[in-house]
């Protein structure tokens, strides 16, 4: 029985694609009805970069999720068609293959659901299902790619499956932190090691930023949605209708965090130093503030060390395979 279990795991790992970057789970989760294939990944990568899929032909997924910025865009909030401002900061797509739900409020239960929403949102790419499918069907290369990947003419569900397949290839690991954990004692400086001890110790950061992807994939009220006692964004409660989720947002991955500024769901904190200061204060007081948060009283050197450790979470980003 033990041998069967080992062989099963080995086969599952092979089916999930190339070896995971150091520090990540070996298995890359994929739904049974949308297994990863090279044809789908290549098609999704092309769709991801295609500006013709937006209403005005000016935006693509890659405009907001820029690979050179760790699949974010450096803005406080997203800008859509005609310069319309979105409500929230663009989250990174890195390691979303390991995600449990999607968007800051978790309103999508799968990547297939997630990738379609920006296409159709009036504040983002502002197109329609018919327009997206028509654009793709007019392109002979696309039609050949869809036939190769799905065995049929382009349709919206398969556009979603192809985009989701590509997103599942966007992974980051092999950071200096990962190498340190694997036994390379010199991979982190003394200051970074001090920051790691703060992160997992007095700072309590690891309470929410846990596991290989450095997130618990849960939702927390850290007070960012409140300003002067007023709730500016209801967050997760809109999805669940549960009072406990009022002002709560998903814990983001901290992989590549040094490259994904500005921070928080609203982009309100410009630097990692600002983020550390915010949590050192204990967040913003409100009736539903997560019980984990409280003033930390970190020293100046502890804060500097913590920021240094966060920067050491950047590694090697791979996509498209």
The whole-number average pLDDT for the span 296-315 is 98
**Helix ranges, the chain (H):** 2-15, 38-48, 61-64, 111-120, 129-137, 140-150, 156-167, 176-181, 190-200, 237-240, 272-280, 300-311
Question: Containing H/E element for 219?
Answer: strand 219-220
The dotted CATH code for 2-171 is: 1.10.760.10
The fold adopted by the segment(s) 172-316 is Cytochrome Bc1 Complex; Chain D, domain 2 (1.10.760)
The whole-number average pLDDT for the span 20-24 is 95
| pLDDT per residue as tens digits for the range 63-98 | 999 999 999 999 999 999 999 999 999 999 999 999
Question: Who has greater pLDDT, 12 or 111?
Answer: 111
pLDDT score at 14 = 42
The whole-number average pLDDT for the span 162-181 is 98
3-state SS, residue 72: strand
Phi and psi angles of residue 72, each rounded to the nearest 5 degrees, phi first? -125, -170
Confidence check: pLDDT of 10 > 70: no
| pLDDT averaged over every residue in the chain | 94
Distance CA 122, CA 138 (A): 23
Q: How far apart are the first and last CA of the chain?
A: 32
Which tokens in the block code for residue 143? 């039609």
Domain boundaries, the chain: 2-171, 172-316
């Amino acid at each position: 029985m033990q041998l069967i279990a080992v062989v099963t795991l080995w086969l599952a790992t092979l089916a999930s694609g190339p070896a995971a970057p150091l520090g990540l789970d070996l298995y890359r989760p994929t739904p049974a009805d949308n297994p990863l294939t090279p044809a789908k990944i290549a098609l999704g990568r092309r769709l991801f970069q295609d500006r013709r899929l937006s209403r005005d032909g000016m935006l693509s997924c890659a405009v907001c999720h820029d690979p050179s910025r760790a699949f974010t865009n450096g803005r406080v909030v997203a800008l859509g068609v005609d310069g319309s401002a979105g409500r929230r900061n663009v989250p990174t797509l890195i390691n979303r293959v390991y995600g449990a739900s999607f968007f800051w409020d978790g309103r999508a239960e799968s990547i297939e659901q997630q990738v379609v929403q920006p296409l159709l949102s009036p504040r983002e790419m502002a197109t329609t299902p018919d327009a997206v499918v028509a654009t793709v069907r007019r392109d002979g290369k696309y039609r050949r790619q869809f036939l190769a990947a799905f065995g049929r003419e382009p349709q919206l569900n398969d556009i979603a499956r192809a985009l989701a397949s590509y997103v599942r290839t966007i992974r980051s690991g092999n950071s200096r932190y990962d190498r340190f954990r694997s036994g390379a004692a010199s991979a982190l400086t003394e200051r970074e090691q001090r920051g790691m001890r703060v992160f997992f110790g007095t700072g309590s950061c690891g309470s929410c930023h846990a596991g290989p992807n450095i997130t618990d994939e849960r939702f927390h009220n850290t007070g960012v949605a409140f300003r002067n006692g007023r709730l500016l964004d209801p967050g997760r409660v809109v999805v669940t209708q549960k009072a406990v989720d009022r002002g709560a947002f998903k814990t983001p991955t901290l992989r590549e965090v040094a490259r994904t500024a500005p921070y928080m769901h609203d982009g309100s904190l410009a630097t990692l130093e600002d983020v550390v200061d915010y949590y050192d204060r204990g967040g913003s007081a409100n009736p539903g503030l997560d019980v984990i948060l409280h003033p930390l009283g970190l020293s100046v050197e502890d804060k500097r060390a913590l920021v240094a450790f966060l920067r050491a979470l950047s590694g090697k980003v791979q996509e498209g395979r």
